[in-house]
Amino acid sequence: MYCVEICRRPTFPFSRKAIKGEMANRIPRSSSCFFIFLLLPLLLQFCSGKSDLQLNYYSESCPRAEEIIKEQVVNLYHKHGNTAISWVRNIFHDCMVKSCDASLLLDNAPGMESEKNSARSFGMRNFKYINTIKQALESECPGTVSCADIVALSARDGVVLLGGPEIEMKTGRKDSKVSHAADVDSLIPNHNDSMSSVLSRFQSVGIDAEGTVALLGGHSVGRIHCINFVDRLYPNADPTLNPAHVEYLKRRCPSPKPDPKAVEYSRDDLATPMVLDNLYYKSILDGKGLLIVDQELASDPLTSPFVQKMAADNDYFHDQFSRALLILSENNPLLNDEGEIRKDCRFANKK
């Protein structure tokens, strides 16, 4: 192709034949190729027709976009504190499944099942408030800000409300027109998966073991339904669980077969369940992790050193969480005409 052969076989407009007169003899081939080398990033971008995500993407098209999202996230947090946790969970479930493209938000439609129906999405809520944010943006800048960017920026702002770090996040994502429901179970790690499987899944989106440990620190906030960990309590308690904690958990989850529709749950972080902090790591080192993946995180030789370091240093945890979340937020985004700007985050635009 022209874009990769340009220095090997110069053609117009860089061909020496195109340069008339004595000047042609004064320009060595190496200089021409060096000049072309400097232009190569632009040439590749032109040939691919694809640009990258960028900071302040909406600075001209919708200058107040990020401010509006932040205002809505803060307002919703003061009315419904758990929305901040939902935003953090949303970005994980959306971006781990093929692309950060807001496919998670699509409702059922003829011939298309919603990702929200997956077993991996059990317990997820507050999707309706995404459209609250979307409506505020549509009032200011109709058809401009994507639902995928709302997912990313609401997570960023939610992290801050939960006491986490401030993260500078790029924008410019477009929205998927289809759901990836058939891929959710294979792409979202299960809480009963082996640590090697979990690490492999995160590695596939560019997140290393250190970043994986940090992102699982998201279990520091929110709650975990009994149905996800009762197998560690009944009929016999998992010996890796702290015995005193087992008794507490049995009081929280008295039945070995809890009703999935019942609101029965416990928390990984009992002391600060609405704060994204390193107490989660201290808890799992003390044998109080609720999920198998929590306990394996503390015991696996590949992850245990990071768990211990994060348990000892909250700033280090926040730094690694920021780094990993940024990588996740930029996983294979749809750009330009690869996607669309949905009018309603629940449905693809009508053709």
74 carries a ligand binding annotation: no
Judge whether 52 is annotated as a binding position.
no
- 64-185 and 186-328 in the same fold: no
Q: What is the CATH number of domain 186-328?
A: 1.10.420.10
How far apart are alpha carbons 152 and 66 in whole angstroms? 11
115 marked ligand binding residue: yes
Closest by Cα among 317, 212, 301, 236 to 269: 317
Given this model, what pLDDT does residue 262 score?
A: 80
208 is in an annotated binding site: no
- The reported pLDDT for the residue numbered 1 is 40
Q: Which of 93, 225, 245, 318 is catalytic?
A: 93
**pTM: predicted TM-score of the whole model, two decimal places:** 0.85
pLDDT value of position 192: 87
Integer angstrom CA distances of residue 122 from 93, 96, 104, 219, 263: 11, 16, 13, 15, 12
Q: Where are the domains of the chain?
A: 64-185, 186-328
Residue 310: closest CA among 213, 198, 195, 242: 213
Is 168 annotated as belonging to a binding site? no
SS3 319: helix
Q: Which amino acid is at 48?
A: S
116 contacts 124 by C-beta, under 8 angstroms: yes
CA dist 338 and 103 (Å) reads 13
Q: Is 83 assigned to a binding site?
A: no
Where are the extended beta strands (E) located within 141-249?
224-225
94 belongs to an annotated ligand binding site: yes
Bridge partner residues of 334 (DSSP): 174
- Per-residue pLDDT in tens (0 to 9) along the chain, 351 residues: 433 333 333 333 434 344 344 444 444 544 444 444 455 544 444 443 344 899 999 999 999 999 999 999 999 999 999 999 999 999 999 999 999 999 999 999 999 999 999 999 988 999 999 999 999 999 999 999 999 999 999 999 999 999 999 999 999 999 999 999 999 999 999 988 999 999 999 999 999 999 999 999 999 998 999 999 999 999 999 999 999 999 999 999 999 999 877 888 999 899 999 999 999 999 999 999 999 999 999 999 999 999 999 999 999 999 999 999 999 999 999 999 999 999 999 999 998
At the top level of CATH, the class of 64-185 is mainly alpha
Answer yes or no: 93 catalytic: yes
The token pair at 300 is: 């696996």
pLDDT for res 23: 43
